[in-house]
Structures are given as C-alpha cells and as structure tokens.
Amino acid sequence: MDEETRCYVGFSVFPGIGPTRFSLLRTYFGNAREAWRAPLSELLHVHLHEKLAREFDVFRKKFDAGDGEQYLRALEKLHVSVLPITDIRYPKLLSQISDAPFLLYIKGKKTRTPLNLTRTIAVVGTRKVTSYGREVTTRLTRELVAYGFTIVSGLAYGVDAVAHQAALDAGGKTIAVLGCGIDIIAPACNERLYYEIANGGGAIISEMPLGHKPLKGLFPARNRIISGLSLGVVVTEGADDSGALITARNAGEQGREVFAVPGPITSTYSRGPAKLLKNGAKLVESVHDIIEELGIRENKQTRLRQGYDGYVNELKNEEEKRLVELLRDRPMAIDEIVRESGLTAKIAGATITILEMKGIIKDYGNKEYGLQ
C-alpha cells in the first residue's frame, strides 16, 4: 500500500474527520499525505477545533508508530481492500454525491462476472417484511437482474435480505452496504448471506473502520451510500417512518430516481410507498416502469421472466401454460387453482410439481402458489 493510501486509511480510522472535513483538508493541503503530515499549527488554520486537532496529532503519532501496521495486517487477514475516492476504480455514481465517502472498505472476490457499477439499483424496505412484500421484492429483483442490474441494499432484516438473496438466486450480483465496520456482521442471522455475497455474489462495502459497531445514528449515513451507488431506489414495502424513506429522500437529493410499489391499503407497511407516491415517486407495477423511467432499452438478449410472456418458451403443454397465465397476477391457493383452471386436482397437482422443479412457480406456504 502506498503512503497516500495509507494516509487515507489513517484518516478513516480517526473519529471526528468525516467526508466534509476530509475534503476541506485535502483541498487545503493538496492530498491526504500532506494533510496527514501537516504541523499542528497549520491544522488549526483549516477550521479544525483546537481539541480535535490536538487529538488528531496524538492519534497519527500512534498510528505511525505501529498501530497503523497492525491495522493494515488486520485488513489483509480479513481479505478487505480499501479504495480511496481518488482511485479510478471508485464507483463513479458514488463519487458524484456531495458527501461521498473518501475511503471505502470492500470485501469481495473477483469473479468471471464482475459487478456492473454502471447499472446499479437499490431495493430497500421494511425489516418486518410481509408475504406480499417478500413476493414483490423477489419478483422485481429477479427481473432487474435479468436486465443486468447489480442490486444494492443494506443487509438488514426483511426487504434488504430478501433483495440480496433474490439477486443471488437469480445468478446476479449484489452490493451490501453496512452501517458498521466491515468485519462486523449485523444482524448476526445474516451471516450466511454475508459470506455468500463476499465469496462471489458481489461485494460488502463500508466507510466505517474495522470494529466500528452498528450504532443507530450511523444508518442514515449508510443509507446515503446505498442511494449514492444507485441509478435509483426502489421501495417495495415500509411504514411511513421506515428508514427506507431516508434512503429515498437521499436519492431525491442526489438527483437519483425514486420508485415505490403500491400495496394493500389495509397494511401499515404500504404507507411508506404511498407517502413517496404522493410526493412524486414513480409508481411501479412491473419492472417495465423502472426500465422505462431510466431510459434502458430492452433487447433480445434480456433474460426477462415476467408472467406468461416471459415463461412461454419453458412451458411444454397447455396445462403448464394455463397455470402460469392464471398465476401471473397473484398467488393462489391450491383449491382456487383447481377451480379457476378447470383442471382436475390430480393434473393440477402434477403440473404444479413440474413447474416448481423448473423454478417457475413456488409454494408461498399453506399450499398457496405463485410465480417466482
């Protein structure tokens, strides 16, 4: 690691110097190295409070004396790389926001299918996802992956985890942005998902130094990275005070598109998207609403699988076609499928089993089936 990058790392570890103060220092001194090496007297001229400047002076001496080497060895052991904002590989979209992180910590393996950072979209929502929210999040995510999108979310409970998993299941890539150190898995129940992403399904990203715990106040800062990495933010489900609305607000302030999926008016978790729609968000009834708003052209290579039109080439007989057409709008219980399709219970059951094996439909629980 060169000295300039090492100085970026040092600044990222020191508490009290965030993107705004770091930008001020870099502009004044010309680069991170000169700012790191600046005499205390000069630091006091750059509008750093005296107490903060003196604390930084003590910190950098310790970092240079050995703490820095120990920290860098920890990064290497964890297979975590760092990316300064000046690096050509730094995500272009993220670099365009006013408070872009000056350093990113990244954990992820290079694969044959690299992350598509020119076509990224955030999918976010409530931690208390309902069956409806799970269904629409999964469906939209799979279809966005088919259009070549890399899915960005926050690795939280609920919609975030569903979006990450749906992207992986569809053979796509996903970026998980953490509101804590990259070495901390929070919530712990997403450990398997964390490693599945890091080991080939995308990347884990954080601006926080190692060991930084997931404090509540850090999540709004995390959310502005999620939206900053993305062409737009899709909110599939959330209450009217959901953190997902902060991500959507960030997106609007950053000049990115905001999309919202309408839900049942009886559900508390439909209020967030409804609030966004009242404030001008783009209504999403299908992936085409997103594609159209972003000005992305469809082509013959698009592996979009939506409803009957998307699955038609995989359907081998009239029974399969009839069930997929029947389920294109909503999941249905088995007795309802039998009644509406006109098939016998035996034929309907056998056809459902075949379609499940093909990955076209799935059991949503309690013998209720719908398209993947």
pLDDT given at position 49: 87
pLDDT given at position 301: 45
**106-294: CATH topology:** Rossmann fold (3.40.50)
Nearest Cα to Cα of residue 157 among 186, 131, 182: 186
What's the count of helices (H) and strands (E) in the chain, helices before strands?
Answer: 18, 12
Task: Walk along the chain (372 residues) in steps of 10 and give the mean pLDDT of each run.
Answer: 95 94 94 95 85 94 94 95 94 95 90 71 95 93 91 96 94 94 94 94 94 83 96 96 92 96 93 96 94 77 44 71 80 88 90 83 79 72
Surface-to-core class of residue 30, CB atoms within 10 Å of its CB (0-12 exposed, 13-18 middle, 19+ buried) = exposed
Q: Is the peptide bond before 187 cis (omega within 30 degrees of 0)?
A: yes
Q: Quote the distance between the C-alpha of residue 159 and its chain's center.
A: 10
Nearest Cα to Cα of residue 223 among 193, 255, 194, 245: 245
pLDDT given at position 151: 97
CATH class of 307-371: mainly alpha
Residue at token pair 């044959």? 112
pLDDT given at position 303: 41
* Ordered strands of the 150-153 beta sheet: 81-84, 103-107, 202-206, 174-177, 150-153, 120-125, 232-237, 257-260, 282-283
pTM recorded for the entire structure: 0.80
Q: Where are the domains of the chain?
A: 3-77, 106-294, 307-371
Amino acid at 16: G
Give the number of other CB atoms < 10 A from CB of residue 10: 22
CATH 1.10.150 fits 3-77, yes or no: yes
Nearest Cα to Cα of residue 175 among 191, 155, 147, 195: 155
